[in-house]
Amino acid sequence: MQPTQPWEEEAGPAPPPTGHQGYEQLNVKREPLQLIQPQFKTPLPARQPEVFPPSFSELPLPPLELFDLDETFSSEKSRLAQITNKCTEEDLEFYVRKCGDILGVTNKLPTDQQDAKYILEHIFFQVVEFKKLKQEHDIDTNETAFQDNF
């Protein structure tokens, strides 16, 4: 049987020629191939990610002790005027206690009697004592003036 096609030979197809023969024919040394990095053409420049700084929450203020300079350096009259301007009729209990603190009455009372009622009572008794002393002093000065005239 005659082959109808060239590849249908009885012995099978002929082996392809090897690449070694090409090196010898071209007088080129046979070396292993090296990897060449590809350089692709890009229409845009290389991308760089946008980096935003982290947003930290604000730290709370340090717990500092509040110090009222007006309370420390102002006179009793000015402190009483300030507390009078701040308070309303609804704040009467607070007003009396604060005035007692300013006048130094609260320190003279026992701890269980430091409410507005006892502060007013203490001030009332001090006013009465002051009036008594003033009347006695007035009487004494009048008597000495009377005796000097005679």
Residue 145 is assigned to a structural domain of this protein: yes
Instruction: Answer whether residue 9 shows pLDDT above 60.
Output: no
Tell me the residue length of the chain: 150
94 Cβ neighbours under 8 A, 6+ residues apart = 87
Q: Is 5 left (phi over 0), alpha (psi -120 to 50) or beta?
A: beta
Residue 97 is assigned to a structural domain of this protein: yes
The answer to whether the CB of 131 falls within 8 A of the CB of 112 is no
Residue 62 is assigned to a structural domain of this protein: no
Residue 16 is assigned to a structural domain of this protein: no
What is the count of structural domains for the chain?
1
pLDDT score at 137: 76
pLDDT score at 150: 47
Residue 112 is assigned to a structural domain of this protein: yes
Phi, psi (rounded to 5 degrees) for 48: -125, 125
pLDDT score at 85: 92
Q: What is the pTM of this model?
A: 0.46
Q: Which residue is listed with tokens 């110090």?
A: 67
The answer to whether the CB of 106 falls within 8 A of the CB of 97 is yes
Q: How confident is residue 3, by pLDDT bands cut at 50, 70 and 90?
A: low
pLDDT score at 66: 77
Judged on CB neighbours under 10 Å (0-12, 13-18, 19+), 99 is buried
Residue 61 is assigned to a structural domain of this protein: no
Query: Tens digits of per-residue pLDDT, 15-72?
Result: 666 777 778 888 888 888 888 888 777 677 777 777 888 888 888 888 877 777 777 7
pLDDT score at 94: 93
Instruction: Answer whether residue 93 shows pLDDT above 90.
Output: yes
Residue 95 is assigned to a structural domain of this protein: yes
Query: Tens digits of per-residue pLDDT, 106-145?
Result: 999 998 988 999 999 999 999 999 999 888 877 766 655 5
- Domain that includes residue 93, residue range: 73-149
